[in-house]
Amino acid sequence: MFRKGYELCMTIPRSLEDDVLEKYEEDIKTASETMVDAWIMDDKAAPMSERILILGQQYEKVLLKNIPEEQKEGFFVKDSLLFSAWILLVGRQFKHCITTLSLAIDTYPDLPARVFFLRASCYLSLGKLRLGIKDLEKALERDPKFSIAYFVLGSVYLSMENERENAIKNYKLYLQNGHADTNDSVHALYALSVLVNHKKRKNEAHEYYVKAKLAEERFRELYGAHTGLSETKRDAIRAHESEAEAQKLISSYAPKKQSDQKMQQLIQSGILNNSYPPNPKHCSHCNAAHVKDKPDTPLLACGACRSIWYCSRECQVADFKTSHKAQCKQFQAAKTTAEQK
C-alpha cells in the first residue's frame, strides 16, 4: 500500500503553484491518504522522505483551496491530522505529536487501535509511563487482538518496580495473540524466563528459556538473522547457561552496530527495498523519472560506477549512505572484469 501511494506521489510535480495543484488534485489526495493508511497499519513500513514532506504541503493546500480565509486557521480533516502526526513522530516532536493525535482522537471516534498505540509511544518516549500504559490499554479496548500492545505493556511493566506480575500477564497475552515467528515473540519468551526465574519457579523459567532458543532458531531460519541482544535476553542467557557458554552466546548476538532489526528484516526479505533497482529512466532513491525540477533533463549517473541513476545530489547522497556505498564497488569491479574479458 505504501509503495502504491509513493509511486503515485512521484508522478506529481513538486510545485506548490495553484495550477499544478488543481491539475493533480485527485492524485495528491489519493497518494496522501493511501500512504497515511499504510502508516497507520505499520509505521515501520512507511519511511518518511523529503518528497513526502512536500506532498504534505501540497495536500494541505489542496484541502484549504475552497475554505474561506477566516476559517482556514484550525481547519483540518482526519487524514491531514494523521499526516501531520506522522511527520511529527518521525521528527521526534513527541509533545506536538501527542497534541495532534489527541485532536484526531477527540474529533474522530472511529480511529483504529494503532492511533492510541502511536500516542502511547510518544508518551513512553517522554518517560510518561502511566499515560503510555493508559493509551496501550485503550488500544486493546478498541481491538483486543492488537497484539503488539500486549508486548509493549509487558516491556514497560518489566522496566518498573514491583510490576513483575503485570509484565508476566502481558507477555503471556502477547504470546497467545501475536504471531509466533516474530522478534517480539522471541523476546517475550526470554523475558518470561527471567521474570519467572525471579519468582523462584526454576523449572518453568527453564521451559520458557528453551522455547525462546527454539523460537530464535526458527527466526534465524526464516529471516537469516538473529533477534538482537537486549539486557533481558542477556540476563536469561546468564541465568540458564554455563559461564563459558553464556559468554559465547552473548558474543554471537552482540550487534556490530545498532540498527532497526524490524526494518532490516523487511529490507532483507524484499518487502521494503533499500533503493529502487538501477534503471536509467528512474531515480534509484525516489523513483523520479527526471532531474529534480527539470522535466526535460535525463537522470544523472553515478560518476564512479556509471551503473545507477539519480534525480538530484540529495538523492545520490542519501542512497549512497543507505545502500549504494557497497554496490558502487561491486559495479566497478564487474565493469573492470567485463572489459578485461
Domain range list for the chain: 144-258+267-272, 275-341
Measured CA to CA in angstroms, residue 139 lies from 26, 114, 119, 143 at distances of: 32, 7, 10, 6
Q: For residues 263 and 247, is the Cβ–Cβ distance under 8 A?
A: no
The domain defined by 144-258+267-272 carries CATH number 1.25.40? yes
CA separation for the pair 219, 43 (Å, rounded):
22
CA distance 117 to 168: 20
d(CA 298, CA 259): 35
Instruction: Give the CA distances from residue 208 to residues 193, 212, 252, in Å, rounded to whole numbers and listed in that order.
Output: 5, 6, 21
Q: Which of 218, 145, 134, 158 is nearest to 183 (CA)?
A: 218
Cα Rg of the chain, angstroms: 24
C-alpha span between 31 and 26 (Å, rounded): 8
Contacts of 205 (CB under 8 A, 6+ apart): 192, 193, 194, 196, 197, 199, 239, 240
pLDDT in tens, 158-187: 999 899 999 999 999 999 999 999 999 999
301: β partners = 309
The model's pTM: 0.70
Predicted local confidence at residue 59, as pLDDT:
92
Q: Are 59 and 80 in contact (CB under 8 A)?
A: yes
Give me the residues of the chain with pLDDT under 50, please.
258-259, 263, 266-274
pLDDT given at position 70:
60
pLDDT digits (tens, 9 = 90+) for 25-73: 999 999 999 999 999 998 888 988 889 999 999 999 988 887 776 655 6
Query: What is the per-residue pLDDT for 263?
Result: 46
Specify the DSSP element, H or E, that contains 301.
strand 300-301
Residue with the three cell numbers 483540518: 76
